[in-house]
Amino acid sequence: MHGYTGQILHADLTSRTSRVEPLDEAMARAFIGGRGLGARLLWDLVPAGTDPLAPEAPLIFATGPLTGTKAPTSGRFSLTGRSPLTGTVLDTNCGGAFGVRLKAAGHDALVVTGAADSPVTLRVDPEGVHFDDATALAGLEIAAVTAALAEGRTHTSVAAIGSAGERGVKLATIMVDGRRALGRGGMGAVMGSKNLKAVVTSGTGSPDVARPEDLEFFLYEVRKTIKANPITSRALPEFGTSMLVRILGKRGLMPAANYRESGESAVESLSGERLAEEFLVKRSGCWGCPIQCGRHTRTAHAEGHGPEYETVWALGVNLGIESLEDVVELNYLCNELGLDTISVGGAIACAIELAEEGADGAGAGDDDRAIPVRRGDVPAVRAAIEALAAREGEFGDALAEGAREFAERHGRPQAAMHVKGLELPAYDPRGMQGQGLGYATSNRGGCHLRGNMLGFEVLGTPKLVDREAISGKAGLLIVAQHLGAALDSLSLCKFTSFALSEEHYARLYSAVTGFALSGQDLLLAGERIWNLERLYNLREGFTAEDDRLPTRLLEEPNAEGEIVHLDEMLAEYYRFRGWTPSGVPTAEKLERLGLTGLADGPAGDERAGAAGGRGKGTEGA
């Protein structure tokens, strides 16, 4: 199997044993790899209702057929499981070199189950699998763990958790090589529940390519196209993702104060241009990346990686902090503790709103326990992050459960800006109607990367549409969702899609694997993956009631008087997808996608979500 190793490695932490099974070629062709392969393995391996933190709940690290090849941005891989924060299917995608090293060690995917009786690291190399004692690493933060495990080793990558993951914080990440994050949904907590401090992968070599001459020809075309696009050749390399601060802020699309205000006033103080001028040490990038959007930065007190646009917003604009140096250092703190900056910012912004309303720290009405964080108060925000990571006190313990749980404990569920339990990112959908529909329908909850409408509604790539329009947005979003699923499965960086089309990706895939694939075939595979993830969520008890947005976005206008017109778009979305009005894929749709045999009973059966789970309608549904 060109492009694949043909092997899936299973590691059981309870018994400290491992086994290898062959990768089924039909499965690989249907689900590509990465996110798609992870979704299919999760469906097959995990019974409905399995608790995300149970020993039998898997962590599925999966590479794509292009991982480790010469294709630009091919250093990526996916981690799939069930999110302890949302209860949904969760894929979180990451760059760096981990996926390259895992494939070089001989495996397309690593499935980790069980729970060790003491802290361990899992080491995978061409010689085999090693369960190493990690007692000495317990309690250490990301930099120290990464340095200790990488010392003396070459061609090695480390995926580790900090103390937040060990304590089961549901906003905990897994940090790759200390600078890239498997960020959203709390998979660091899943690792912590398994007593797994880190996974270390080592290996050299490249995947076998079916048609090397074709690949070189397509690579020439792809590289030329990336260099010709102003976003991938100039904006992202020069300013990183924080280039969006000015673009979105000046259009009123960057929210502030927990989506209660506009963040336009912070545009100049927190811009990507200022980050580049005053804090940038050098550009950085993932394995095989020609774009190099990463930022290696330095303040007067510290040095590290980032921040990205989402972090500048989450820990800056959203919290009323306009000192870029403070935002950079808060980002370093989250990276070191192993925390998702978007969710941390969303949870603290929720707490600030409740504090401004006079709520107390525990939800019991005791004035002596007032919520200890205020807008723009940097020391208090830093203390809140540390309390959250440590689950310190009732306040820190509540924040560690995420914005939804924090707000519900205080009797104010409408103050949590989330979808399906996942805190919203940095785009105000009241001015981007398609983005609002994307948030509501995302299989992993409030996320822009499941089907980003930024290109269509703001940047004009591949074309610009009216961002306030409602009709037709469902069709554009569905294409973006399918392409995103395909890219996560190949696995390539989504930033390349600002320049490249599905035809470019299909040609690269065909040259590497030898499997004939058109651009439409690739989108069909993305649709298959999307629908399988939908089936998983339905199986876990989610329904159309969970495809909602916070009431604030539906009823409280932004400065331009706009709200999200979700109901009209959602009906169109279900119809375009070939789902029932209740959001369930029809029998005809599943048959077309080759998924009929995976569904329990008729595809249109409204009882598809009967097997209990976390499924829970968002306030204001």
Total domains in the fold of the chain = 3
Same domain, 40 and 139: yes
Segments forming the whole domain that contains residue 115: 7-202
- CA of 401: how far to CAs of 269, 336, 391, 467, in Å? 31, 19, 9, 34
**What is the rounded distance in angstroms from the CA atom of residue 528 to the CA atom of residue 486?**
10
Residue 618: pLDDT above 50?
A: no
- Structure confidence at residue 617 (pLDDT): 36
Tell me what percent of the residues of the chain surpass a pLDDT of 90. 93
Q: Is residue 225 part of a domain?
A: no
pLDDT, tens digit, 9 for 90 and up, residues 509-524: 999 999 999 999 999 9
380 and 442, same domain (yes or no): no
pLDDT in tens, 437-452: 999 999 999 999 999 9
67 and 156 in a single domain? The answer is yes
Task: Kindly state whether residues 545 and 478 are assigned to the same domain.
Answer: yes
What percent of the chain lies above the pLDDT cut of 70?
A: 95
Residue 434 and residue 415 share a domain? no
The string of pLDDT tens digits covering residues 231-255 is: 999 999 999 999 999 999 999 999 9
* 186, 71, 6, 32 alpha-carbon torsion, rounded to 10°: 60
Cα atoms in the Cβ-side hemisphere of radius 13 Å centred on 183: 22
Which pLDDT band, with edges at 50, 70 and 90, does 598 fall under?
Answer: confident
Give pLDDT, residue 612: 33
pTM: 0.94
CATH of the domain at 170: 3.60.9.10
Average of per-residue pLDDT values in the chain:
94
Q: What is the pLDDT of residues 23-64, one digit of tens each?
A: 999 999 999 999 999 999 999 999 999 999 999 999 999 999
Confidence (pLDDT) at 111: 98
**Distance (Å, rounded) from C-alpha 353 to C-alpha 136?**
40
Query: Would residue 178 count as lying in a domain?
Result: yes
pLDDT for 619 equals: 33
- Reply yes or no on whether the pLDDT at 261 is more than 60: yes
Please state the rounded mean pLDDT for residues 331-355: 98
**Cα gap 88→538, rounded to integer Å:** 9
Q: What tokens were used for 194?
A: 């398994």
* pLDDT attached to residue 620: 32
pLDDT on residue 360: 63
One domain for residues 448 and 319: no
CA distances to 175, 212, 452, 534 from 522, in Å: 30, 21, 18, 19
- For residue 241, what are the contacts with CB-CB under 8 A and spacing of at least 6? 272, 293, 308, 309, 310
Closest C-alpha to 226, from 455, 506, 523, 497:
497
Calpha distance 103→293 (Å, rounded): 24
pLDDT at 381: 98
Indicate the length of the chain as a whole number.
Answer: 621
Could you tell me which residues are beta bridge partners of residue 22?
Answer: 7
Query: Are 400 and 469 in the same domain?
Result: no
Instruction: Note whether 149 and 160 are within 8 A (CB).
Output: yes
Burial of 521 (0-12, 13-18, 19+ CB in 10 A): middle
Residue 260 lies in a domain: yes
Segment 58-108, tens digit of pLDDT: 999 999 999 999 999 999 999 999 999 999 999 999 999 999 999 999 999
Answer yes or no: do 404 and 465 share one domain.
Answer: no
Q: Mark whether 381 and 484 lie in a shared domain.
A: no
| pLDDT tens string 183-223 | 999 999 999 999 999 999 999 988 999 999 999 999 999 99
Of 246, 109, 244, 95, give the one whose Cα is nearest residue 177.
95
Burial class for 27, CB neighbours closer than 10 Å (0-12, 13-18, 19+)? middle
Q: What is the pLDDT of residue 614?
A: 42
Angle subtended at Cα 189 by Cα 50 and Cα 130, rounded to the nearest 5 degrees: 90
Residue 92 lies in a domain: yes
- Per residue in 550-579, pLDDT (tens digit) is 999 999 999 999 999 999 999 999 999 999
Mind listing the pLDDT tens digit for each residue in 391-418? 999 999 999 999 999 999 999 999 999 9
